[in-house]
Structure 1
Amino acid sequence: MAGVNGFAALIPLLMLFPLAATIRQSWPGAERCGGRISNIISGPGWLVPLIFIVPMCIGLMMAGRLSPLPQHTYAVMTQSHGPATGLALALAVVTAELWLMLAPAMIVLRFADPARRAAMRGLIPLNLFLGLVFLAIILLVWN
């Protein structure tokens, strides 16, 4: 049984890498951050698991099985599945919410033509507004 607990403790650590990659891809000026350790911790390869993590979290939120509030997710999952699972899912919720509210607009601005960036500044408030409305609807309907 100790092997299962040891492996479960690694899952929250592994969830930090996609979160770090999300922050790095959406942080202004992050393209200058290109060291070897930085690429290991937050390289674009860590975005691949998000193909599964983000839709899973959003689907579970819409079904009412996962709270959009990370602290609530942690508390509920810790009670039923242990602290490692609770922490891993709380980190997954934070990552999914970043992708709902901020990351798409920031990435578009990061890779946009510099001459057109000023015209796209409205993307950030629009992305934030739409993400917050979506999460508020989930909170109102299921909680």
Structure 2
Amino acid sequence: MVLRMNKVAIGVFAALVGAGVYVMTGAADAPNVADTKPEAEAGPLVDVIIPARFTEQQAMGQIAFEANCVVCHGVNAAGRDGVGPPLVHKIYEPSHHGDEAFQRAVALGVQAHHWPFGNMAAIEGLTRADVATIVSYIRALQVENGIN
């Protein structure tokens, strides 16, 4: 019997394996920016309307976002007060921060220039394809919230 998995199931499996490796390598014990502010104080910075449906790529991007970005950029990219900026914000619209800006931010990090949260460190372990799926998720959220 041949086991067939769809791309979403493979994405979920990959995210879970990645999280397991992250914990097993001790990276989960590293200090985290989010640990500097209690959860109650680090609430979302913007209200985000969620699309009724995501494409398969956007759904995979949501999984990758939640595994890699949510700790600073918050649930549904709404930001975290005192921790990290919302990505569902006019500053990150495609005409100001194109998709390549997200690719470069992940690969190289970013010097603080729009927000008072400090610099963003590079995020290790994400491929350009991973970042592209994350960006597709962010763009879907932006469109739903009137950011084109």
Q: TM-score if structure 2 supplies the norm length? A: 0.29
Which is richer in helix?
1
Q: TM-score if structure 1 supplies the norm length? A: 0.30
